[in-house]
Structure 1
């Protein structure tokens, strides 16, 4: 298994290159900004990028996913029911993407946005159990993703509550690798530490700990920070319904 984390400060975002070194097969998740960084790292680690995956249609930054997929000759992946104006490789809950000895499992975890997916990843040279889960903006270190960017806050929170139960059912030891960290406008109490475990977040993440649905909805709808600037326009760009500003 090869895994590299890319941390961006403006916009605040975390993205990932990982895959099977033995089979030279890799994937990139939630790329942003200069695609050259991912192409260079893939070359340095001896991997061909086969999949470029966006966990969701972002509202806080313009994705580099389609550009990177075209440059790398890779498939651009979104949840199958994502509302997008361009062709993409659609995946559904329970699907598996193969990267040699590495497998990517698809969990549909809506709430932050309707099309959001999380990705438990397994290295079969070590075990058939997942090693880490890429959680995008559903579960971040210290908080959960805001729920009003693609729905109203209460409806989004009810959907997110069900997604949270699925993430809580994952093994406690599993590393949680989010798509954002402190400074992102997509959460409220985010840590500057850009990784955690499911078990640690179950014990110390206030929003993730809430077991009652009504209490959860109230908490997620309260004290919302200002939304990302031009959030609707950015989602429209990422979904292909609007051209990016020059």
Structure 2
């Protein structure tokens, strides 16, 4: 048997390839939208991509299953659990097999047994792998998707918070407890291959280690040690972070079927003349991917700063409008990766890329000041100053700057009409990265008297500034 894992660090998402070396058949578990890595591995190892399987209808990224079916004719193994609201709707013209608890399918001489593990979502399933081609009758491991992670279990509140399906958080927590009891009956030696690692919003305390075992999780994972269903549900639902707004879009996209990507060339504008046709258009958002300090020193009016770092994909999904076309200011060597990052969460309407050097050709650039803690202390209590803390709710509740107002970055644009335009706005987060995004977003929405606390709340605390707790 052949095994390989793949990790997208911007989504903290794992996918896997398993192949039977005797027959040359290969399956991809929970494929990402960019199927290139799987194709390259199959070509290098001499395998034929024959199947893809999903543990559930994903909410945090666009699945590559339909792309694999379209490009390579693979058979899809998809969950048939859950009610009519959680059924795949794009399988009619594809080779697809809908599976339920206890079903077994083979990829060459490798066996996969389906285990229904609802809780994160009603249709969630796991796959127990047995390498029969290697002579084993005992299972080797389990692909748990967003059911069991290293150190945590999947959150059950996403459907309610992100997709607006009321009442599903409590019922999902109850189902999760029951699924965990089933999981605990599995052999301790079984390897656990999760769908996500640390950094994913699909749980609140995921570990950074890529694999585990059933026995290790039974000994160390809080969710497997809690015996009281009531306490389990209470702890599971407590302090879950805000789910990104784009999760609702992803759930719908993966249910009805993602669009099939075509290899179209996106123009790269290297002059102001090429970029100008996109500026000041109601149906276009211009994103500047330079670092925050460079953006602050001079940028095109109306552009939004989204530096291409680990947090790029998550915040792009939070704040960008899926109905608008995107123009991305970025270095040419970054465009391929940026395109895949955006497409991974369904932001497919990329009209053009543009060189950062074009910015310097604009006659009049907009700026904002990055200030330090000393400068903030000199003015934060003034009546004509409005301090905005754009961190998440848990961060705010743990401590914040006196007089600050909480407007989490993901919901900042929705709060624009309630913010005072007659006051100076000072924006901060924990370290300055998110506030650079937030400052640009507010400036693009007409707040011109604005500053960014570059060192963030961490800098404030270091300077022994007073804090308040919610």
Residue in 1 that maps onto 2:135: 126
Whole-Å Cα distance in 2 between the matches of residues 68 and 168 of structure 1? Answer: 34
Deviation of the 1:241 alpha carbon: 6.6
Partner of 2:140, secondary structure, is: strand
Secondary structure at 1:239 match in 2:
helix
Q: Pick which of 185-194 and 236-245 moved more.
A: 236-245
User: What are the superposed Cα offsets for residues 154-201 of structure 1, whole Å, 9 maximum, x if unpaired?
Assistant: 110101111111111110000000000000010111111110000000
Residue 147 (1) aligns with residue 151 (2): no
Offset of residue 213 of structure 1: 0.9
1:12 deviation in Å? 1.5
User: Hey, what does 2:112 align to over in structure 1?
Assistant: 104
Contact 1:7–1:14 (CA under 8 A) maintained in structure 2: yes
What runs of 5+ residues in structure 1 fail to find an aligned partner?
Answer: none
Larger Rg: 2
Normalising by structure 2, we get a TM-score of: 0.51
The worse-fitting range, judged by mean Cα deviation, of 167-176 and 205-214 is: 205-214
After superposition, residues 158-237 of structure 1 pair within 5 angstroms as 158-237=174-253
- Deviation digits for residues 11-35 of structure 1 (CA, Å, limit 9, x no counterpart): 2200000021111111101111321
Q: Secondary structure at the match of 1:185?
A: coil
Map of 2:22 onto structure 1: 22
CA contact (8 A) 1:59 1:228 kept: no
Q: CA deviation at 1:64?
A: 1.1
Which ranges in structure 2 are unaligned for 5 or more consecutive residues?
161-167, 260-345, 349-470
CA RMSD in angstroms comes to 1.5
Distance 1:214 1:92 in 2: 28
Are residue 86 (structure 1) and residue 95 (structure 2) matched? Answer: no
Q: Is the 8 A contact 2:66 2:258 kept in 1?
A: no
Contact 1:39 1:72 (C-alpha < 8 Å) held by counterparts? no
- Assess if the C-alpha contact under 8 Å between 1:153 and 1:220 holds in 2: no
Per residue, is there more helix in 1 or in 2?
2
Distance (whole Å) between structure 2 residues aligned to residue 129 and residue 190 of structure 1: 28
CA distance in 2, matches of 1:49, 1:242: 20
Q: Which residue of 1 aligns with 2:255?
A: 239
Contact 2:104 2:113 in 1 (8 A): yes
Task: State the Cα distance separating 1:119 from its structure 2 match.
Answer: 0.5
Higher strand share: 1
**Per the alignment, in what secondary structure is the counterpart of residue 11 of structure 1?**
coil
- Paired with 1:69 and 1:3, the residues of 2 have a C-alpha distance of 21
| Aligned residue among 119, 138, 152 for 2:147 | 138
How far did residue 228 of structure 1 move? 2.7
